[in-house]
Amino acid sequence: MKENMKVAVMLDKMKMGWEERPIPAPADNEVLVKIDCVGICGSDMHYYENGRIGGYIVKPPFVLGHESGGVVVKTGKDVKHLKIGDRVALEPGKTCGHCEFCRSGKYNLCPDVQFFATPPVDGVFQEYVAHEADLCFKLPENVSTMEGALIEPLAVGMHAANQAGASLGKTAVVTGAGCIGLCAMMSLKAFGVTQVYVTDIMDKRLDKAMELGATGVINSKEKNPVEEIQKLTEGRGVDIVVEASGVELCANQGLEMLVRAGTLVQVAYSGSGYMNLNMGLICDKEITIKSVFRYRHIYPMAIKAVASGLINLKGIVTDVFEFDNVEEAMNKSIADKANIVKSVIKMD
């Protein structure tokens, strides 16, 4: 194996460059993975465009990317469940394992998590990554490494469905038909939710939602989504709203769409981090509000859902770029959101 690898680095806002770095050696409990596919996430685009998300500030050169699938090429001496040649999906967050949240099973809330592409931790826009073996999940033969990379956003959508208490016979609306919204929609359907409607203002994203199994879609620019949902549910409203747009108006419309005692799951962050919500309506309806921070204990279930054909992850992908064209991939993904639903970088 060669000694050095190519790494794509963010040099400044809207500017990518290249570095050559040593290929890392896996620790005893790690595997070395040759990265095959990396999805471009909304957080990657936000860091690239703005240089920060809240208190997380990029200090260049910084490596983006946290949605990844690849092939094990070396194993640490304590690794027993993976071998060279195994294709894996990488769960990107290493937690401490000892805090109250880790010990109670809510490890996604660990305050000391080290998460790919969250400053100051570098991401996976690089040829090789050494990663904790217990966070590398073997892919079945019928699941590609591209799908493996997209297990990460699917895990967010599945966590949202879990938080919503999704089950057979319930009805739902997903506001926002980006990658996470589409993953939430497919997860709700997989969990048995009978009717799942999707709202957005971009027709291509709504078309994609229908292609992937939405019951119906509403262009919020053209029609009042609250009125439309009232018509579609004969005035009852829906049991669940998954808010995946980060838009205050959409969250408040979601509250109006909900049946009494319904549940709003807030997945997306607003630009400022703050939202003004209709507290009178929340109280009058006894609405439950849940939130989503990444996911926990989801990867095995998500991989099985894809392997069984229950969820079509490949269908989300609209654009594939070569690793050499990473700057073009980032720029286009930001500039053409009306047409690009999900971009993936193919490393080879």
- Average pLDDT on 246-258 reads 98
pLDDT value of residue 207: 97
Q: What sign results for the dihedral spanned by CA atoms 98, 104, 105, 108? A: negative
Take residue 241 and report the two structure tokens written for it: 């709203």
pLDDT of residue 231: 98
According to DSSP, the residues that pair with 216 across neighbouring strands are 197
CATH superfamily, domain 4-138+318-346, is Medium-chain alcohol dehydrogenases, catalytic domain (3.90.180.10)
Question: pTM of this prediction?
Answer: 0.97
pLDDT category at 54 given cuts 50, 70, 90 is confident
Which listed CATH number (3.40.50.1100, 3.40.250.10, 3.40.50.300, 3.40.50.720) goes with 157-291?
Answer: 3.40.50.720
Residue 1 has pLDDT above 80, yes or no: no
- pLDDT at residue 272, as a whole number: 85
Comparing CA positions, the residue from 109, 104, 155, 165 lying closest to residue 288 is: 165
pLDDT the model gives residue 177:
97
DSSP letter (8 states) at residue 323? G
* Residues of the chain above pLDDT 90, percent: 97
Asked whether residue 223 carries a pLDDT value surpassing 90, the answer given is yes
Q: pLDDT tens-digit profile of 279-333?
A: 999 999 999 999 999 999 999 999 999 999 999 999 999 999 999 999 999 999 9
In the chain, where are the structural domains located?
Answer: 4-138+318-346, 157-291
- Cα dist. 252→104, 164, 278 in Å? 33, 17, 6
Angle, CA of 84, 90 and 94, to the nearest 5°: 115
For residues 89 and 67, is the Cβ–Cβ distance under 8 A? no
Query: Residue 189 above 80 pLDDT?
Result: yes
Same topology, domains 4-138+318-346 and 157-291? Answer is no
d(CA 130, CA 265): 34
Q: Is-contact 198 206, C-beta < 8 A?
A: yes
Q: Pairing mode, if any, of strands 30-39 and 343-346?
A: antiparallel
**Average pLDDT score over residue span 224-245:** 98
Rounded CA gap, 238 and 247, in Å?
Answer: 19
pLDDT at 2: 86
CA 158 centroid distance within chain = 10
